[in-house]
């Protein structure tokens, strides 16, 4: 199995090698390898060249068993396969499957069909083809009067008559290894680009009286390649349509497929509901009955059954069964909301556990904390976890009531069942069941407004209020 990925991808105009650009949360190279992987292939050889260090590193991360072979000079697709076969020689009796690193929509099933036909017909070369609306730039499949493939002609070398052919070369082939290795040694560079064309193996096979098959893909979209960012976006949208449709067929409600983006690594259970303008990324998993969105972005999150995540942004967070999140919550890595817990409007949580049924309903920051069960955190509470140098932890016992606008200065422990008074700055541990008050005592300076702000609207209002109080008292006498 050979994946061609040495090209420069000039038209991407990018510092990133083309095959490392991503759609559906996976690199183009990753898509090619995933399609091949489903076949249970033998050895996988990836031909790299442009941006080789970055591609090699990525390959080691996603497919450590694959061989990376460097094509020093980009002398064409035929040369690339030759380099691969020289470095990792195939068994002469084996089948060598060749795919390009920039065709991310190819399905395993399509490759399996190509291989099955190839084996059944004992072909020397089988090429996957498709009829496309705009064949510009592709190699054309030339067939004889009995429909057999005779050659593949590149767009640049094609005659006007050949340019009218709409059946094109996908760049995916199955080869008899023994035939391939000897044909690769005979490729010429007598063409407009001065390159060794892999496509010329077809003509060589015909000349040698070998069988050449052209196998048409059922869905022509599968063979589309990425050459620039316009195509990257178009294929990204196509892949997303496919993924979203698969989940709908599996029992997930998607209100607006057009504004819903789901990465290929995401998993959803039947009867999950995905509302408009929602993005599910990475390895996110959503359980049955959960409602996500509208307007929610989740990356690598776990969402429990029946949970609701409304207009929120979360990364590496666990949202328990029946929990409520949002609108406008920001859950950062290490957040774990227990069953039926709540993170409400304008709440940020990171690296913290919120116990079952506990609520952080409004305008709060919770960092580096462990909150027990049945706790209520009053509005505008801040877990003051950072002293400018180090982060410190806060522990909140079960059934604690934290008053609104409390600063909890870590390291700190609030004992089970304790309360804090609203507006407190809590710097010392609170014993179980105690009320902690950490604020100045209020004093009222009578008549201050009329003395210091005479004639102001406030002073007039105050005078009127005082007069009506006096009148009431007089009437009561």
Q: Which residues bind Ca ion (CB under 5 A)?
A: 225
Q: How far is the CB of 199 from ligand UD1 (least distance, A)?
A: 5
Q: How far apart, in whole angstroms, are the C-alpha atoms of residue 477 and residue 466?
A: 17
Nearer to Ca ion (CB atom), residue 158 or residue 302: 158
In 3D, which of 106, 108, 312, 310 has the Cα closest to residue 226? 106
CA distances from 277 to 254, 286, 346 (A): 11, 16, 19
For ligand UD1, the binding residues in 28-67 under the rule CB under 6 A are: 47
Q: Judge contact between 114 and 126, C-beta under 8 A.
A: yes
Tally DSSP H helices, then E strands, for the chain.
10, 41
- 141 is a contact residue toward ligand UD1 (CB under 6 A): no
Return the range that interacts with ligand UD1 (CB under 6 A); candidates 100-108, 290-298, 402-410, 467-475: 100-108
Start-to-end CA distance of the chain, whole Å, equals 103
Q: Which of 25, 30, 51, 139 binds ligand UD1 (CB under 6 A)?
A: 139
> How does DSSP classify residue 391?
B
Contacting ligand UD1 (CB under 6 A), which of 20, 36, 59, 80?
A: 80
Residue 241 is a binding residue for ligand UD1 (CB under 6 A): no
Cα separation, 266 vs 250, whole angstroms: 13
Residue 348 binds which entry of ligand UD1, Ca ion, none, with Cβ cut-offs from 5 to 8 Å by kind?
none
Whole-number Å distance between alpha carbons of 414 and 393: 12
Which helix (H) or strand (E) is 469 found in, with range?
helix 457-476
User: Is 21 an annotated catalytic residue?
Assistant: no
Which parts of 167-226 interact with ligand UD1 (CB under 6 A)? 168-171, 197-199, 225
Provide CB contacts within 8 A for 18, sequence distance 6+: 7, 8, 9, 12, 28, 50, 101, 102, 226
Nearest distance from C-beta of residue 138 to ligand UD1, angstroms: 4
Rounded to a whole number of angstroms, the minimum distance from the CB of residue 109 to Ca ion is: 22
Residues 145-164 binding ligand UD1 (CB under 6 A) are 152, 154
Query: Least distance (Å) from ligand UD1 to the CB of residue 28?
Result: 9
126 binds ligand UD1 (CB under 6 A): no
Q: Which residue is nearest to Ca ion (CB)?
A: 225
CB of 313 to Ca ion, least distance (A): 36
Q: Which is nearer to ligand UD1, 168 or 287 (CB)?
A: 168
Among 76, 90, 236, 355, binds ligand UD1 (CB under 6 A): 76
Catalytic residue among 50, 155, 267, 362: 362
> Does residue number 101 form part of the binding site for ligand UD1 (CB under 6 A)?
yes
Dist CA 334 CA 99 (whole Å): 40
**Which residues in 371-396 are b (16+ Cβ under 10 Å) and which e?**
bbbbbbbbbbbbbbbeeeeeeebbbb
**What strands lie across the sheet with 273-274, from one edge to the other?**
253-254, 273-274, 291-292, 308-309, 324-325, 342-345, 359-362, 376-377, 401-402, 419-420, 435-436
- Residue 4 as a binder of ligand UD1 (CB under 6 A): the answer is yes
> By the criterion CB under 6 A, which residues form the site for ligand UD1?
4-7, 47, 71, 74-77, 79-80, 100-102, 138-139, 152, 154, 168-171, 197-199, 225
Catalytic residues: 362
């Amino acid at each position: 199995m050979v994946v061609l990925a040495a090209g420069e991808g000039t038209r991407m105009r990018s510092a990133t090698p083309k095959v490392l650009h991503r759609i559906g949360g996976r690199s183009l190279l990753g898509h090619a390898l995933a399609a091949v992987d489903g076949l249970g292939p033998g050895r996988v050889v990836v031909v790299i060249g442009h941006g080789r260090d970055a591609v090699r590193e990525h390959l080691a991360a996603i497919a450590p068993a694959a061989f990376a072979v460097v094509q020093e000079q980009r002398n064409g697709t035929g040369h690339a396969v030759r380099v691969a076969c020289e470095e990792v020689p195939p068994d002469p009796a084996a089948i060598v499957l060749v795919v390009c690193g920039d065709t991310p929509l190819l399905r395993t099933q399509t490759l399996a069909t190509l291989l099955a036909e190839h084996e059944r017909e004992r072909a020397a070369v089988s090429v996957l083809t498709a009829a496309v609306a705009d064949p510009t730039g592709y190699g054309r499949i030339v067939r004889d009067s009995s429909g057999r493939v005779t050659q593949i002609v590149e767009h640049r070398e094609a005659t006007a008559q050949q340019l009218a052919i709409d059946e094109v070369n996908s760049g995916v082939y199955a080869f008899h290894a023994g035939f391939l290795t000897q044909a690769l040694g005979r490729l010429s560079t007598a063409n407009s680009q001065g390159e060794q064309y892999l496509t010329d193996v077809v003509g060589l096979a015909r000349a040698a009286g070998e069988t050449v098959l052209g196998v048409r893909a059922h869905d022509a979209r599968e063979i589309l390649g990425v050459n620039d960012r316009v195509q990257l976006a178009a294929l990204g949208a196509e892949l997303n349509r496919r993924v979203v449709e698969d989940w709908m067929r599996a029992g997930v409600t998607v209100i607006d497929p057009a504004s819903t983006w789901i990465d290929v690594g995401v998993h959803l259970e039947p009867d999950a509901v995905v509302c408009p303008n929602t993005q599910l990324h990475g390895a996110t998993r959503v359980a049955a009955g959960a409602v996500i969105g509208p307007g929610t972005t989740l990356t690598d999150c776990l969402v429990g059954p029946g949970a609701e995540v409304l207009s929120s942004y979360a990364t590496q967070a666990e949202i328990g069964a029946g929990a409520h999140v949002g609108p406008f919550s920001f859950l950062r890595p290490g957040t774990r909301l227990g069953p039926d817990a709540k993170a409400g409007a304008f709440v940020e949580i990171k690296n913290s556990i919120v116990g079952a049924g506990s609520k952080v309903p409004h305008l709060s920051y919770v960092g580096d904390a462990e909150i027990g069960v049945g706790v209520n955190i009053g509005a505008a509470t801040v877990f003051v976890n950072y002293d400018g140098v180090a982060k410190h932890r806060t522990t909140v016992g079960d059934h604690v009531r934290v008053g609104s606008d409390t600063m909890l200065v870590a390291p700190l422990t609030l004992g089970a069942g304790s309360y804090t008074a609203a507006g407190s700055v809590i710097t010392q541990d609170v014993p179980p069941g105690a009320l902690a008050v950490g604020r100045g005592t209020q004093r009222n300076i009578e008549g201050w407004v009329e003395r210091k702000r005479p004639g102001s609207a406030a002073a007039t209002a105050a005078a009127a209020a005082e007069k009506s109080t006096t009148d009431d008292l007089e009437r009561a006498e």
